Structures are given as structure tokens and as C-alpha cells.
Amino acid sequence: MPKQILKVTGLKKYFPIKKGFFNRTVGYVKAVNDVDFEINEGETVGLVGESGCGKSTTGNCIVRLLDPTDGSILYTAKDGTQIDLAKAKASEIKPYRKEIQMVFQDPFSSLNPRMTVREIIAEPAMLFKTWSKSEEQEMVAKLMTRVGLRPEYMVRYPHAFSGGQRQRVGIARALSVNPRLVICDESVSSLDVSVQAQVLGLLEDLQQEYNISYLFIAHDLSAVKHISDRIVVMYVGKVVEICETEELYSRPMHPYTEALLGSVPKLIADKSVRKATLEGEVPDPSRPPEGCFFHPRCRYATEECKKCDMKLIPVNPDDPMGHRTTCIRYKELSLKGV
């Protein structure tokens, strides 16, 4: 059995919608709506879904940039202790903060333009330990070399770097505290394809070297294919499918996954798949449809689909942690992979 580093169960994050003079709560944006998944040690899990599906909110709950509404996020620390990050107080989380780091979407806005790269990279490490000037410089130089940046550039400000270089600065910053789990939120989406490949390669090398686990957030499946061991597919705040990467691409068990695969232009091999591309819009998470949230856009939907409860079902009952889907029709459908 692989060792779990993170187990998310029944995670919910609702944002209140306020209206009127008295600022009354008139409803909730159910951004994350009962989400279950797990990350094993040294594993890369891809989290995919269209824009607005709740991917960033999930990541932000794990690092507690947001306080979850309900559910648990069980983290197994380096020393073996377990802590529920969803419920713990800030003071209880503090000792584990450095073990879980985040690399943000936009390297242009997430780096403070008034700080030198040296200060940016050293900042998280300085929170946990006092470093002398020379120790700090040495640490930053090592990290910069490791991520493929020239240490003599540490005196520069972020604007003097390219997008790919800034992303490397963000990675060096996360690495400065020896994290065990790194959440990458669209970390390579803004980079052009060849630079993307270099940064992904760097992330993979670092994983080998330090046994890091990644939660890799992206909105299309092509970005996560090569880096992920397993993939979690989200739709309107719900997980609709979890599966090992190879199998997800070749044997999807949810029409939403099939449609996502169909909307990856590069991967289309035969014309029949092309028909499966996504039409219509993502529903409003404050007023999701009845039953399966995907049924209004699903070309296989039946009356039953308007009543189902969207619980994850193991495709093989003997392997409850293996391939899982919320589609009640998965056995009858023969969905197309790529």
C-alpha cells in the first residue's frame, strides 16, 4: 500500500452571497462541494477541470489561505504525526507550514516587485530559522543553481527576468524550506510550450531528488498528462473521476472526462472523438443542476441522471482506491479515450 501524505475527505468551501442594505446572506457559491481525494508520498496528482470548477479553492484550502467550510484534510507529517489542516488553528499548523508550499499561477504578480530575487527566495526560510548574511547568500546561490538560474542575478529585481525564469524563482522560493508537498496552481500555463517543458522537467527532477509530492492544478488535460501519476477531474465543485493517468486517457469512465479529452486539439486522432467536445457553459456553482451536475451538457444523460447523488463509485469493487467515477451509467457506456 502506498503511503498517503494527504487525505481530503468531504471538503467543502462555500462563499456567502450577500445582498441588500442589511447585507443579508442570500445564498452560497459552492466552490468546493464535498470533495474526496488522496495524495501518496512522492506522487504527482493532477487536478483538472474547466475554469471555475473549484481547483484553486481546493488548493487554497489545503495551504489554509482559505478556511474550509467543512470536511477534513488529513496531513501526515514528516515525523509521522497526523494533523487535520481543515480544522487546526494557525498555531497548530505553524510547525508544518514549511512542509507544504505553493507555487502560484502567475509569476508576474506573485513575486513582490520591490524585493530582490535574493530576498524573495530566502523569505520563507527566514521565517523558520535565523540565518547569517553569508549563510543566506550561500543558500540562495545553491537554490538558484539548482533551478537553473545564475546566482550572480540574485541582486536583481523580478522585472529583470523572463516568465520562465520567474517561475524558477517561485520554485526556488518554495524549495528553500525543503517542502514535502508542493501545490502548483497553473504554474506553467502562462509559459510557452518549450519553456513549459523545461520547468516541468525541473519539477520532475526535484521530485526524484527530494521525494516531493505534487498537486498539479491545470485546466486542460494535456498540461498534466506527462507529469501526473494520477488525475483527479473536478466539475462544479465535485470530483467526478479519479484514475491513474494512462488509464484515464485510454479508458475514461465519465462523459465529462471524455469531453475534456475531446477538447484537447493535439490529442484528437479520429474524427468521432471530435464530436465529444464540450458544448454549453459550466453551471453557476450557487445553483447547480439537480442530480448529476453534468447532465444538462451530457450527451448520454437519461432521466436517472437527474436524480443521482454524485458519489464516487469504484470501477473495480476490489480496488476502492483505484479508478473511481460518479457516472451511474459508466458500465453501459463505452467512452472514447485517446
Ligand X SMILES: Nc1ncnc2c1ncn2[C@@H]1O[C@H](COP(=O)(O)OP(=O)(O)OP(=O)(O)O)[C@@H](O)[C@H]1O
Minimum distance from residue 57 beta carbon to ligand X (Å): 3
Contact residue for ligand X among 5, 31, 182, 292 (CB under 6 A): 31
- Helix 193-210 to helix 163-175 angle, to the nearest 10 degrees? 10
Among residues 233, 237, 213, 234, the alpha carbon closest in space to that of 225 is found at 233
CB 51 within 8 A of CB 254: no
Distance CA 146, CA 167 (A): 13
Minimum distance from residue 135 beta carbon to ligand X (Å): 37
Quick note: the x/- pattern for ligand X over 208-247, rule CB under 6 A, is: -----------x----------------------------
Distance CA 23, CA 302 (A): 40
* The entry of Mg ion, ligand X, none that residue 29 binds, CB within 5 to 8 Å by partner kind: ligand X
* The entry of Mg ion, ligand X, none that residue 54 binds, CB within 5 to 8 Å by partner kind: ligand X
CB 225 within 8 A of CB 209: no
28 binds ligand X (CB under 6 A): no
* The entry of Mg ion, ligand X, none that residue 15 binds, CB within 5 to 8 Å by partner kind: ligand X
DSSP 182: E
List the grid coordinates of 73.
484534510
The sheet carrying 313-314 orders its strands as: 100-103, 181-185, 213-218, 44-48, 230-235, 238-244, 324-325, 313-314
Minimum distance from residue 169 beta carbon to Mg ion (Å): 21
- 31 vs 120 by CB, closer to ligand X: 31
* The entry of ligand X, Mg ion, none that residue 53 binds, CB within 5 to 8 Å by partner kind: ligand X
56 binds Mg ion (CB under 5 A): yes
58 binds Mg ion (CB under 5 A): no
- 151 vs 163 by CB, closer to ligand X: 163
60 binds Mg ion (CB under 5 A): no
Minimum distance from residue 264 beta carbon to ligand X (Å): 15
Quick note: the x/- pattern for ligand X over 6-25, rule CB under 6 A, is: ---------x----------
Minimum distance from residue 66 beta carbon to ligand X (Å): 8
Minimum distance from residue 239 beta carbon to Mg ion (Å): 16
# binding residues, ligand X (CB under 6 A): 13
Cβ neighbours for 91, distance < 8 A, ≥ 6 positions apart: none
54 binds ligand X (CB under 6 A): yes
Distance CA 328, CA 254 (A): 9
285 binds ligand X (CB under 6 A): yes
Among residues 216, 220, 249, the alpha carbon closest in space to that of 47 is found at 216
- 31 vs 310 by CB, closer to ligand X: 31
29 binds ligand X (CB under 6 A): yes
Q: What is the DSSP string of 137-173?
A: HHHHHHHHHHTT--GGGGGS-GGGS-HHHHHHHHHHH
- 54 vs 288 by CB, closer to Mg ion: 54
52 binds ligand X (CB under 6 A): yes
Minimum distance from residue 58 beta carbon to ligand X (Å): 7
Among residues 306, 310, 311, the alpha carbon closest in space to that of 296 is found at 306
The three-state secondary structure class of 277 is: coil
C-alpha 174: how far from its chain's center? 16
For ligand X, the binding residues (CB under 6 A) are 15, 29, 31, 49, 51-57, 219, 285
